[in-house]
């Protein structure tokens, strides 16, 4: 273990705040509409080939990253029980911000009553934009620059019609209010970030849909970064998989996080509460953050949680958290994540095409 002054290797240091920080409140949001994977297969492969997930969440005509972020933020505020004017930064991580030039964060801050005396910014790093905002928020609060930070990971991710992404690219995410340890329902123990220039997934300016490197997105992209960040954090914390009650990984599909967990020594039971991609799809910037909300919904005081994000391009953030007694009094102040999962209205491919603006007429 290292405190950052005696690194295991050059540059390999534990990220630790100057003062204790934790999660004061959290909130999820998932749209009610669901597109079955079988429906995508019916349209593009005649029903052959199967689907990597059962179904995915689809944003409605009146939903986007901003509206969904507001919903999740209100849930986080309900659990935190704080005045939104005490928040000193609002950060929204996404790869599908509704405006190319105009921040999502200022609209969210205004809508929840946090403006104007705050810092606001939009974050981008593919699927780990949300955990990147969380990582920065921990530093912001941990350095004493502010009492509370709101960090959000939210997406209405796009997939080219007929592309493999169309089966999994979904909508939803989560919001976290980070604040003082003595108010937290989960305490931050330490974190570690690992990044390389791995071009597994990208979208150039003016293109409607992202491109990807097919199998290259698994090896060396997802697994190299997820495993490296996890292993190095646990090495520095002096822990193994058996020291954690729960683990949450980024979920581009069901098989990737299951395989990563197994390679790290985690059981299916340890990842089961947060494994949501099979029924809501990959919500990109909100993927592991959404999984963490579902895990916190069932966690007990003293439970230890490993959360590891992944973002194409590429990198992973790994976090070590310990749940406190405050989880019991705050958990039921807002809807549980599984309530959003269960609240579903199935749509066919035609409705999905209309809702997501895939039928272009110009």
Express each pLDDT in 298-315 by its tens digit: 999 999 999 999 998 899
* Residue 51, pLDDT score: 87
Is the Cβ–Cβ distance between 93 and 124 less than 8 Å? Answer: yes
The two tokens of residue 60 are 């409605």
User: What burial letters (b/e) apply to 66-78, b meaning 16+ CB within 10 Å?
Assistant: bbbbbbbbbbbbe
- In-domain check, residue 208: yes
Distance (Å, whole) CA 298 – CA 271: 12
The two tokens of residue 243 are 């020291």
pLDDT, one tens digit per residue, over 52-72 is 899 999 999 999 999 999 999
Paired strand residues for 315? 195, 311
Q: pLDDT band for 7, please (50, 70, 90 cuts).
A: very low
Query: Measuring CA to CA, which residue among 65, 73, 71 is closest to residue 24?
Result: 73
Least-confidence region, from 26-30, 43-47, 255-259, 293-297: 43-47
Residue with tokens 């689907």: 51
Domain count, the chain: 2
Is the Cβ–Cβ distance between 113 and 84 less than 8 Å? Answer: yes
Active site residue 250: yes
The verdict on pTM exceeding 0.85 is yes
Residue 20 pLDDT more than 60?
yes
- In-domain check, residue 133: yes
Active site residue 110: no
Neighbouring C-alpha atoms within 13 Å toward the C-beta of 257: 30
- In-domain check, residue 10: no
- In-domain check, residue 279: yes
Are both 95 and 122 inside the same structural domain?
Answer: yes
Are both 32 and 181 inside the same structural domain?
Answer: yes
Residue 9 pLDDT more than 80?
no
Catalytic member of 127, 183, 212, 225: 127
Are both 124 and 236 inside the same structural domain?
Answer: no
Distance (Å, whole) CA 294 – CA 273: 6
Query: Measuring CA to CA, which residue among 132, 179, 184, 167 is closest to residue 153?
Result: 132
Looking at the chain, the whole-number percentage of residues with pLDDT higher than 70 is: 93
Distance (Å, whole) CA 52 – CA 55: 9
Q: Describe the chain by its helix, strand, coil percentages, rounded to 5.
A: 35, 25, 40
Are both 105 and 228 inside the same structural domain?
Answer: no
Are both 155 and 259 inside the same structural domain?
Answer: no
Catalytic member of 39, 95, 166, 183: 95
Q: pLDDT band for 199, please (50, 70, 90 cuts).
A: confident
* Residue 49, pLDDT score: 79
Residue 210 pLDDT more than 60?
yes
Are both 294 and 223 inside the same structural domain?
Answer: yes
Are both 162 and 37 inside the same structural domain?
Answer: yes
Active site residue 346: no
Are both 221 and 257 inside the same structural domain?
Answer: yes
Are both 143 and 283 inside the same structural domain?
Answer: no
- In-domain check, residue 5: no
Are both 171 and 246 inside the same structural domain?
Answer: no
- In-domain check, residue 216: yes
Helical spans, DSSP H, in the chain: 37-45, 65-80, 104-111, 129-142, 165-168, 223-237, 255-264, 268-271, 277-280, 287-296, 327-330, 337-342, 349-355
Q: Say which residue, 342 or 12, is predicted with more confidence.
A: 342
Distance (Å, whole) CA 264 – CA 226: 10
* Residue 208, pLDDT score: 78
- In-domain check, residue 274: yes
Catalytic member of 97, 212, 225, 250: 250
Is the Cβ–Cβ distance between 175 and 152 less than 8 Å? Answer: yes
Are both 221 and 129 inside the same structural domain?
Answer: no
Q: Which phi and psi (to 5°) does residue 39 adopt?
A: -70, -35
* Residue 238, pLDDT score: 97
The two tokens of residue 174 are 């989560």
- In-domain check, residue 239: yes
Least-confidence region, from 212-221, 226-235, 245-254, 325-334: 212-221
Q: Domain limits at 326?
A: 189-330
Residue 10 pLDDT more than 80?
no
| CATH number of residue 242's parent domain | 3.40.47.10
Are both 181 and 36 inside the same structural domain?
Answer: yes
Is the Cβ–Cβ distance between 236 and 223 less than 8 Å? Answer: no
pLDDT, one tens digit per residue, over 71-129 is 999 999 999 999 999 999 999 999 999 998 999 999 999 999 999 999 999 999 889 99
Residue 3 pLDDT more than 60?
no
Is the Cβ–Cβ distance between 152 and 72 less than 8 Å? Answer: yes
């Amino acid at each position: 273990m290292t405190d950052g002054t005696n690194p295991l290797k050059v540059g390999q240091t534990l990220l630790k705040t100057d003062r204790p920080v934790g999660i004061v409140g959290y909130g999820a949001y998932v749209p009610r509409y669901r597109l079955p994977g079988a429906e995508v297969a019916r349209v593009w492969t005649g029903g052959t080939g199967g689907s990597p997930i059962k179904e995915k969440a689809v944003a409605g005509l009146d939903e986007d990253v901003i509206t969904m972020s507001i919903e999740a933020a209100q849930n986080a505020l309900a659990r935190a029980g704080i005045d939104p004017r005490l928040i000193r930064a609002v950060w929204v991580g996404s790869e599908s911000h509704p405006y190319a030039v105009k921040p999502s964060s200022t609209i969210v801050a205004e809508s929840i009553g946090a403006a104007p005396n705050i810092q606001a910014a939009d974050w981008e790093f593919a699927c780990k934009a949300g955990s990147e905002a969380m990582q920065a928020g921990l530093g912001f609060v941990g350095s004493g620059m502010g009492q509370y930070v709101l960090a959000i990971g939210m997406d209405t991710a796009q997939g080219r019609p007929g592309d493999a992404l169309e089966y999994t690219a979904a909508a939803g995410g989560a919001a976290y209010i980070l604040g003082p340890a003595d108010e937290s329902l989960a305490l931050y123990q330490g974190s570690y970030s690992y990044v390389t220039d791995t071009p597994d997934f990208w979208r150039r300016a003016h293109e409607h849909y992202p491109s990807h490197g097919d199998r290259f997105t698994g090896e060396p992209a997802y697994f190299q970064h997820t495993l490296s960040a996890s292993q190095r954090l646990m090495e520095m914390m002096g822990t193994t998989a058996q020291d954690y009650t729960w683990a949450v990984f980024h979920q581009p599909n069901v098989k990737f996080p299951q395989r990563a967990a197994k390679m790290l020594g985690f059981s299916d039971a340890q990842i089961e509460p947060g494994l949501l991609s099979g029924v809501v799809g990959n919500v990109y910037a909100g993927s592991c953050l959404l999984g963490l909300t579902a895990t916190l919904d069932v966690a007990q005081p003293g439970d230890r949680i490993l959360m590891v994000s992944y973002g194409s391009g590429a990198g992973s953030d790994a976090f070590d958290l310990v749940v406190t007694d405050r989880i019991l009094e705050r958990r039921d102040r807002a809807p549980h994540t599984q309530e959003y999962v269960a609240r579903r209205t199935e749509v066919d491919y035609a409705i999905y095409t209309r809702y997501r603006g895939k039928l272009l007429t110009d």
